[in-house]
């Protein structure tokens, strides 16, 4: 049975699997909801309750940190991409995770995100103006490159202090680094991914040096500033790691989810009509997009001690792979889960994780998505496909590589 399930996992990287992984996820949920995978090197979970249980229990199921990798992945430090990622907050466990998250949220606050709304609206207007100009003669424009990535880059770039002239360069390197999280990444990509990680780290090291010499009103300068008396400072390495995770995580998955969401709206014209008729439904559309076809499809944990999941004995240090994309279509959690419904009121999925590692940027991503969907509904009620879409070739970070649209 596990051999057939592994074959199904491998099919996620095929053209058919990239186009629509959800039949594969449904088959796994129904036939092998928990199984030991040779392809992914651990236990694979596809039901909502099991995935949520693992994410919620941070004492039993911990992220694959440096200590775990030293025991089970010798030589991992020789891969710059893996070495860089393992130093970041999402790959740390308490107490290091607790301390660094507390220091980061001291400056990356809900109030700071709320204060960004005027800037987000301005950035949305700018990219949609460009799309309007590009399609004024009736031809199609590629929405991902014209709107989604420039928007995400502008919002997170302005927040941390990255000049617009560097956006294309950073998109290239972060796209390569994102391939590291694909459990079935081709070894042929290793050197290219590692080189991108070195370039990415060097870029933000230089930005920190610039902002230390010339402070500005951005988050980088705030993180570097000496805190008030009695408050614990962040080290320069901690500031660097915070910027690496905020920038990469601050646009990649948001752009991916928005591309998936716009495509979903256009292939469900009744739902797009609801949005254009009432742009106030944009917040609900955001939640449904994140559940129905989010970008972050997989994550990993390792058992800190022996555990039992639905009768399966999980040994200490065993890897557990959480298929969030499958969990978010679980009929045991969501009624009629394959139906795309922007008026759904059935609770949130696991797109942003759960528990200790709930995504720090969730509020910013929701703001950005909601404003864009609201304005698309208002400005382009006749939006439609303008050519063949191209999916990104990474089943772990689902998204559009090309989405040609006309208006």
pLDDT, tens digit, for every residue of 181-207?
A: 666 667 778 888 899 999 999 999 999
Helical segments of 12-79, H only: 15-19, 22-31, 48-56, 66-72
Greater confidence, 320 or 249? 320
* Backbone φ and ψ of 224, nearest 5°: -80, -20
Q: What is the pLDDT of residue 268?
A: 98
Q: What is the pLDDT of residue 179?
A: 78
Alpha carbons 65 and 87: distance in angstroms, whole number = 8
> CB burial class (10 A; 0-12, 13-18, 19+) of residue 227?
middle
CA distance to 121, 295, 305, 337, per residue, from 374 (Å): 10, 20, 46, 24
CB 61 within 8 A of CB 302: yes
**Average pLDDT of the residues in 163-172:** 90
Residue 333, Cα to own-chain centre: how many angstroms? 22
> What is the DSSP code (8-state) at residue 88?
S
CA distance to 3, 17, 96, 133, 283, per residue, from 400 (Å): 30, 14, 35, 22, 21
Residue 39 reports pLDDT greater than 80? yes
**Average pLDDT of the residues in 214-219:** 90
CB 355 within 8 A of CB 58: yes
Record the tokens describing residue 237, joined without a space: 């390495």
> CB burial class (10 A; 0-12, 13-18, 19+) of residue 185?
middle
Report the SS3 class of residue 140: coil
Residue 353 reports pLDDT greater than 70? yes
Helix (H) or strand (E) holding 404: strand 404-406
Q: pLDDT tens-digit profile of 100-113?
A: 898 888 888 888 88
**Average pLDDT of the residues in 36-64:** 95
Q: What does pLDDT average to over the chain?
A: 92
Query: Domains in the chain, start-ordered, CATH in brackets?
Result: 2-387 (1.10.630.10)
> CB burial class (10 A; 0-12, 13-18, 19+) of residue 218?
middle
Q: What is the pLDDT of residue 28?
A: 96
Q: What is the pLDDT of residue 405?
A: 98
Q: Which residues, listed in sequence order, are joined to residue 391 by a DSSP beta bridge? A: 400
Q: What is the pLDDT of residue 202?
A: 96
Helix (H) or strand (E) holding 273: helix 269-277
Share of the chain above pLDDT 90, in %: 70
Q: pLDDT tens-digit profile of 327-341?
A: 999 999 999 999 999
pLDDT-based confidence at residue 344 (cuts at 50, 70, 90): very high
Helix axes 117-134, 149-160, angle to 10 degrees: 150
Alpha carbons 363 and 109: distance in angstroms, whole number = 10
Q: What is the pLDDT of residue 5?
A: 93
Record the tokens describing residue 275, joined without a space: 């949005």
- pTM beyond 0.75: the answer is yes
Alpha carbons 397 and 362: distance in angstroms, whole number = 16
Among residues 256, 269, 263, the alpha carbon closest in space to that of 381 is found at: 269
Q: pLDDT tens-digit profile of 291-305?
A: 999 999 999 999 999
Q: pLDDT tens-digit profile of 231-249?
A: 777 888 999 999 998 888 7
Record the tokens describing residue 14, joined without a space: 């095929």
pLDDT-based confidence at residue 137 (cuts at 50, 70, 90): very high
pLDDT-based confidence at residue 175 (cuts at 50, 70, 90): confident
Alpha carbons 337 and 334: distance in angstroms, whole number = 5
* Backbone φ and ψ of 43, nearest 5°: -80, 135
Greater confidence, 83 or 270? 270
């Amino acid at each position: 049975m596990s051999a057939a399930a592994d074959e199904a996992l491998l099919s996620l990287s095929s053209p058919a699997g990239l186009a629509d992984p959800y039949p594969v996820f449904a088959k796994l949920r129904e036939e092998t909801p928990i199984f030991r995978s040779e392809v992914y090197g651990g236990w694979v979970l596809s039901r909502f309750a099991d995935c949520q249980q693992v994410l919620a229990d941070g004492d039993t199921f911990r992220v694959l940190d440096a200590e775990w990798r030293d025991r089970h992945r010798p030589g991992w430090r020789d891969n710059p991409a893996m070495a860089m990622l393992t130093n970041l907050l999402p790959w740390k466990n308490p107490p290091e995770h607790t301390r660094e998250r507390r220091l980061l949220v001291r400056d990356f606050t809900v109030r700071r995100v709320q204060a960004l709304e005027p800037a987000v609206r301005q950035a949305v207007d700018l990219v949609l103006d460009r799309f309007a100009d590009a399609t004024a003669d009736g031809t199609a424009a590629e929405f991902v490159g014209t709107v989604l990535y420039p928007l995400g880059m502008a919002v997170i770039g302005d927040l941390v202090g990255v000049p617009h002239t560097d956006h294309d360069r950073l998109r290239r390197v972060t796209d390569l680094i994102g391939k590291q999280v694909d459990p079935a990444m081709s070894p042929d990509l290793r050197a290219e991914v590692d080189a991108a990680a070195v370039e990415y780290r060097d870029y933000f090291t230089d930005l920190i040096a610039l902002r230390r010499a010339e402070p500005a009103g951005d988050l980088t300068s705030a993180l570097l500033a000496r805190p008030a008396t009695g408050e614990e400072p962040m080290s320069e390495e901690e500031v660097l790691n915070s910027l690496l995770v905020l920038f990469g995580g601050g646009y990649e998955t948001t752009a991916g989810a928005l591309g998936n969401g716009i495509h979903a709206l256009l292939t469900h014209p009744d739902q797009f009509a609801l949005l254009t008729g009432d742009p106030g439904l944009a917040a609900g559309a955001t939640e449904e997009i994140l559940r129905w076809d989010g970008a972050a499809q997989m994550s990993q944990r390792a058992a800190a001690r022996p555990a039992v999941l639905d009768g399966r004995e999980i040994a200490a240090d065993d890897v557990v792979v959480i298929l969030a994309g499958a969990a978010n279509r679980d009929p045991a959690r969501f009624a009629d889960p394959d139906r795309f419904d922007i008026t759904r009121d059935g609770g949130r999925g696991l797109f942003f994780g759960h528990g200790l590692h709930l995504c720090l940027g969730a509020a910013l991503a929701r703001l950005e998505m909601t404003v864009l969907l609201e304005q698309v509904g208002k400005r382009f009620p006749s939006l439609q496909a303008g050519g063949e879409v191209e999916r990104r070739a990474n089943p772990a970070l689902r998204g559009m590589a090309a989405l040609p649209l006309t208006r």
